[in-house]
Amino acid sequence: MKKKEVISFVVLILVTLILAIINFNLFQSKIVKPTQHNEEIKKQYETRGSSNNTVQKSSTDEELAENKLEKLKDMGERDRMETYFAEYIAHVEKEEYEQAYVLLNETFKANYFPTLEEYKNYVKQKYPSMIGVEYNDIERQGEYYILFISIINPLANKGENSSFNQRIVLYERDFNDFELSFSV
């Protein structure tokens, strides 16, 4: 190939590449992005248009779950475990026994509380109506975490048994996907 031809070839390739990049950028900025934006606006409009109480509620629930997930992703192990236990104990405090029961490890349930009724009786007898939790320590055993906590009854009078210690074992499968058990 002559020198002149080589130069022409290089120039042509460069020109082709530049044109291709310009074309692609134009395609992205003038066609793809506006279309996507339009779709988003359309979706928002449709969502608003067809909104009713149920949809709003589920959308709020979804948002809350999403927010919770994002917060969990930013947390370290200790904070995540405490958050999970806080979720469990909140169910207990609100007397949402079924939701609390679901969070327990299946074999643990079978061993100690085969029925929801038995679990309810235990919880009602063991925990105060208003529950304070003090996190004393955390240990890890392989994939399991052990929280050493004190359950406090803030309404207890002086001299009464106002607190007791408990160990909580947690296993986290994924963010916000966990199971737990506790020393009975």
Partner 1 sequence: MNFWTDLRIRTRQFFKKYKNIIIIALVAWAVIFVINMILKYRKEPETPISTYTPNKSIMSDEEVPKKVHTTANKILDEFVEYCNQKQYEKAYNMIDEECREEVYGGIDLFIKHIQEVFGNSKKIYNIQNYSNVGKTYVYNIRILEDIITTGTTGNYNYYEEKIVFKDTNNGIKLCMGGFIGKEEINVIAEDDYMKINIYEKVLRYETEEYRMKITNKTQDTIVLYDGSVSSEIVLDIGNQTRGLENYENGAIIINPGATKEIGMEFTKFFDDGRTANKLIFNSIRVLKSYSGEENRREQELANATKLYSMNIDLK
In the complex, the residues that contact partner 1 under the rule CB under 8 A are 5, 8-9, 12-13, 16-17, 20, 72-73, 76-77, 80, 105, 107-108, 111-112, 140-144, 146, 167-169, 171-172, 174-175, 179, 181-184
Minimal distance, residue 126 CB to partner 1, in Å: 13
Across the chain, the runs of DSSP E, i.e. the strands, are 132-141, 144-152, 163-174, 177-182
- The nearer residue to partner 1, 75 or 155, going by C-beta atoms, is 75
Minimal distance, residue 166 CB to partner 1, in Å: 9
CA distance 60 to 66: 10
Minimal distance, residue 84 CB to partner 1, in Å: 11
- The nearer residue to partner 1, 20 or 55, going by C-beta atoms, is 20
Half-sphere exposure of 170 (CA within 13 A, CB side): 28
CA distance 77 to 83: 10
CA angle, 6 then 11 then 13, to 5°: 95
